[in-house]
Structure 1
């Protein structure tokens, strides 16, 4: 038999992939070793990005209303996942038993025309030129062969596809283990990552009255196992940690999981690909493994039906590595003994800071980096991948607002030129932080406001773009770099040299940056100039600085008319008082005083402005040009 794609594994990842392929008209066969769908629920948590993907495919309608999963956690420390994007309708986490999700995904795949063959064990895999020969053995011993264009292993941590195709699975073995069981007949209190002197205990009552218990005894290491743990092991460990006897209960399901960390060194070998746990093994804490696998599947389905297959490894492997790193940190915080308590206390304090909560919540929720290529279906409310395959230049982006803008554009998929004048270490740290999150960026040095400044800048920009994309083409230019007058300098004391310097950096440089960028800007490009709320509020000590920002607003206004025939929008964004990392923002009294100027009674964060700039850079803002955008948190309302 000939099939265009053979998917091995009928778990959620394989079934979602099969349905997506059939929706795109690709003949697909799913091979599954199990004769019947599994009956135990291993994973049950869906995160924001996954909810978006399922909604786009109509799967949420099939599942029906899902219960709110409550607050999330990071290593057992409370983390409200709604902090990732409080305005998102799927903010937080949602509960859906894996058995239910599998059943719905299988129905969808079958309705779309996929063929699901159960009771088939993969025994051979041979790539032959432009095809792959697959051999599977049925329960009665019969063997059948299929010829296909691609094979995708979605067959879990013990992937036969990965082994037969010769993928390297690098990483480290388990050092910590949790015992897990669903037990009927228990009457014990619910617990959520309850740490005791001897270990960790979790208990949760299912709707059917059974109780899911998980237990880890500190300082114990996993031993060799041929199968699930015995119930008496779970009973003994539970008693050691909590002092409670659960031996009278009836075990319905027994399982272990550990902190193994492994990842395929490549997600593609010729015509064989990996997705989900076949590509990565990790502690299944907080539901991240299931969500990561489902996101692998949706990305791969698009790439298998477009010209972007070569980018599958480039995009999804860094996303997997990032998640594995987060999970490893959580495993240490969650399962470490008394020695990790100082670290847990420090993390608890950090989680009180809004930027930290948002950063970690976005990572756990799948909103930290692009996960779908440009021709994938997108929910307009989603903040993922809106700038995939776009290029951007952000001047003055080694710190403060510029850095936040560069990071957000990269999170949306843009390749970002990170410009700096003198802060080389800061610029490289910005680039490294973007790359750690799965994005792309490169540093460019040029001092603005001096002869030859823009020429030097664009030599670096064009070289960096050509090396990474093959052409020197830009889609987005953000003029953020600027200098200001020292605080407390009255107009009478501003020197001609100081005024010249302000105009050279704040007004002249942006004009010539745009002029130099115009031949490189694609149709439909975006120019965003960073102005200041000081153009609307009188502050005599900043009159010279405000004059230069007024010039920037005029630049936006007139260029908007000039460039409209090319579909290029030009806008000004005016921040108010924004924490740029300066020493003033380390003084609580000063911060409180400044916060009173905002309608929201807080000082702005750099990401508040970056989100506005990012929106203006997307196609959603195509009808906005020549605008002055007040991003001051209501400071200009009076």
Structure 2
């Protein structure tokens, strides 16, 4: 039930397939979304029953095809009733038949599983946009309530209330001719596929459950201004007039009509109100293009609106939704209008139909027409170089990664972008990774060999379209990333920043050559600290961290020491003090981050004494003596941050010994906090959860998806998520926090 004062980030009006697809897309990005629909329950009608190739690809990109199961497929489609092969380079050529009611149910379950709230029996009756918010008046069983939303999206059909209340023009023409149709039981008539008879057009198809769908149009009949719904008697009369068959003894399941009206919203966005699906375009559903067009709207809009709502991207990103989808709407509706004329026209259109049939026999023409109908021809923001993928959808490819085989569809299932790099020389690979690092929370970087081969790296948007590609170098990559995914997450911390909270400070980060330690080092340096990047064996990786920091205008140097062995702390501080002295003239230390650690990953019954001792030595003993030794260098007001683990709060039997050592780290923080407090030194512990750390398992989409379910935010952690917490504890802002345990697991296993 909708109550007054209810707030949400996005209100979607209309719980049909388009609205539910959009709700799922928004929830993938963590946006709070509510869906309202005037109907009290899901539709039982199955008006739109055709899914085209591009829609099947998009459903695969979200992992939804398994929910549909096996679907009837026919590679033969039609153009105004003229047979046309839809065989194209896609795993899903042709037309796939599924009742709209089933599509709606599957998308509704998906959106619901992701946390979307669907309120039925609630009708929108008013919209008022104020600064930064839209107030929507919604009537329901309990009366009228006001919902405050950051944005409202109308997915409420061709008679859209959202469009009307927003005052968006809907130019075009109304119905001039129409077909009436019905699903009927208890009749036995021949199947007909666009049979043109002297009096009109007849279509009949009997499904496996014994229901026959009939569609009929009488040539020469004008339906201008005729909007009243037909009855079953009208269907029977027209069917008899065209075919001579009597179907009046059957029982109608449902009856309706669709006309050749063609209208396109003047704009898909007005302020904080947007349109998608039939709310944005009204067209005759010839060839099943209408539903597919609307679902493509939803996938194009969802990730963009989410990026704006979550503050990752500026609002002008939403303008690209109008620019891209309105242009597609113009092209598709122009084609559908022409098809409607050829389909419903009488003898006068026969010569043109014959010419079109002859043209479609030529392979280039057939492929062009098939791609247009299937939605595979869409290319955004480019004039269209057929030899380049830029702007086009990424064709589905099979990938071989270091972690094993996968597909491009699997890599897009979490709704993030994808930087896909085919086998590349190490220098270029490193440059590409560095360029994309600041967008790691919204763009996945994957190195893989593709089949069919991809000659160049590609940046793929969450909707599957290629936003950047280059034959060599990284030219334009950061521009493309910023255009489509917003400013880099560390934009406020890079060269030229005004946030220098740690200017003049020195920091030591252990285990800083990769993963969380690397992110912490980069973040502290970006805030102005001189960072000692500790490593044990990965000298090249540590050097790359230093290079990254210095490239962004920061200061850093590498120090080597193997922890957990005799003399480890002595070796570490010899190198640290030498580096500090060389760069600052003194050995003063302001910040110590004990991050270095070693996982166990061994069942308790298989853990040896040597393995246990090694874990204790690296994870617990080394931090104790590092703090003991660092106390000589730490100045008043210094900061110590010890990296613990979420495994001290939830169980994993394969990590019992590891969890014990991290529990010791938390006790270390607590007691050293009291010991060092008289000097104004704070000591705290931070416990990451499941966080990308370079382990190959994070390149396996199914594994990442399973791990993401453990977090309240439905994603795995990024090293930068933890680095942000550490940066706070290292800053003057944390002066009143000591002896604390900070859970940085993203709400893992909250229940």
TM-score strictly above 0.5: yes
Aligned to 1:296: 297
**How far apart, in 2, do the equivalents of 1:148 and 1:205 lie?**
45
Aligned to 2:139: 137
What does residue range 252-267 of structure 1 map to in structure 2 within 5 Å? Answer: 252-267=253-268
- Residues 137 and 565 of structure 1, relative CA distance in 2, 3 Å threshold: closer
Aligned to 2:23: 18
Aligned to 2:83: 78
**How far apart, in 1, do the equivalents of 2:54 and 2:61 lie?**
11
Aligned to 1:36: 41
**How far apart, in 1, do the equivalents of 2:123 and 2:285 lie?**
25
1:619 has 2:624 as partner: no
Aligned to 2:100: 98
SS in 2 for 1:169: coil
- Residues 22 and 230 of structure 1, relative CA distance in 2, 3 Å threshold: same
Aligned to 1:331: 340
**How far apart, in 2, do the equivalents of 1:27 and 1:162 lie?**
22
- Residues 269 and 346 of structure 1, relative CA distance in 2, 3 Å threshold: same
**How far apart, in 2, do the equivalents of 1:238 and 1:358 lie?**
35
- Residues 410 and 16 of structure 1, relative CA distance in 2, 3 Å threshold: closer
SS in 2 for 1:245: coil
Aligned to 2:149: 148
Contact 1:5 1:148 in 2 (8 A): yes
Of 37, 42, 50, 1:45 maps to 50
What does residue range 128-527 of structure 1 map to in structure 2 within 5 Å? Answer: 128-139=130-141, 142-222=143-223, 224-225=225-226, 227-306=228-307, 307=313, 308-370=317-379, 404-405=386-387, 409=390, 411=392
Aligned to 1:108: 110
- Residues 525 and 175 of structure 1, relative CA distance in 2, 3 Å threshold: same
- Residues 224 and 565 of structure 1, relative CA distance in 2, 3 Å threshold: closer
**How far apart, in 2, do the equivalents of 1:52 and 1:235 lie?**
39
**How far apart, in 1, do the equivalents of 2:191 and 2:98 lie?**
19
Contact 2:230 2:256 in 1 (8 A): yes
Contact 1:202 1:214 in 2 (8 A): yes
**How far apart, in 1, do the equivalents of 2:237 and 2:83 lie?**
28
Contact 2:174 2:225 in 1 (8 A): no
Contact 2:456 2:471 in 1 (8 A): no
- Residues 614 and 329 of structure 1, relative CA distance in 2, 3 Å threshold: farther
**How far apart, in 1, do the equivalents of 2:274 and 2:151 lie?**
8
Contact 2:73 2:96 in 1 (8 A): yes
State the shift of 1:305 in Å: 1.8
State the shift of 1:409 in Å: 4.8
Q: CA deviation digits over 1:248-300, x for unaligned, max 9? A: 11122110001100000100000000000000000001110000000000111
Query: Structure 1 length normalisation: TM-score?
Result: 0.60
Aligned to 1:519: none
Contact 1:524 1:566 in 2 (8 A): no
State the shift of 1:58 in Å: 1.7
State the shift of 1:614 in Å: 11
Q: CA deviation digits over 1:41-82, x for unaligned, max 9? A: 001111111111111112111111212134111111111111
State the shift of 1:247 in Å: 1.5
State the shift of 1:225 in Å: 4.9
- Residues 110 and 563 of structure 1, relative CA distance in 2, 3 Å threshold: closer
Runs of 4+ in 1 over 6 A off after TM superposition: 523-526, 560-568, 620-626
State the shift of 1:615 in Å: 5.0
Contact 1:120 1:136 in 2 (8 A): yes
Contact 1:201 1:214 in 2 (8 A): yes
SS in 2 for 1:287: helix
1:8 has 2:13 as partner: yes
**How far apart, in 1, do the equivalents of 2:278 and 2:429 lie?**
48
**How far apart, in 2, do the equivalents of 1:112 and 1:619 lie?**
29
Q: Tell me the matched-pair count.
A: 409
State the shift of 1:185 in Å: 1.0
1:54 has 2:59 as partner: yes
Query: Structure 2 length normalisation: TM-score?
Result: 0.51
- Residues 126 and 348 of structure 1, relative CA distance in 2, 3 Å threshold: same
Contact 2:175 2:226 in 1 (8 A): no
**How far apart, in 2, do the equivalents of 1:243 and 1:359 lie?**
38
- Residues 70 and 191 of structure 1, relative CA distance in 2, 3 Å threshold: farther
**How far apart, in 2, do the equivalents of 1:90 and 1:70 lie?**
9
SS in 1 for 2:145: strand
SS in 1 for 2:220: coil
**How far apart, in 2, do the equivalents of 1:191 and 1:98 lie?**
22
**How far apart, in 2, do the equivalents of 1:7 and 1:116 lie?**
9
SS in 1 for 2:70: coil
Contact 1:181 1:253 in 2 (8 A): yes
**How far apart, in 2, do the equivalents of 1:116 and 1:274 lie?**
18
Q: CA deviation digits over 1:523-571, x for unaligned, max 9? A: 9999xxxxxxxxxxxxxxxxxxxxxxxxxxxxxxxxx999999779xxx
- Residues 243 and 314 of structure 1, relative CA distance in 2, 3 Å threshold: same
Q: Which runs of 5+ in 2 are unaligned?
A: 1-5, 308-312, 395-418, 434-450, 460-467, 474-751
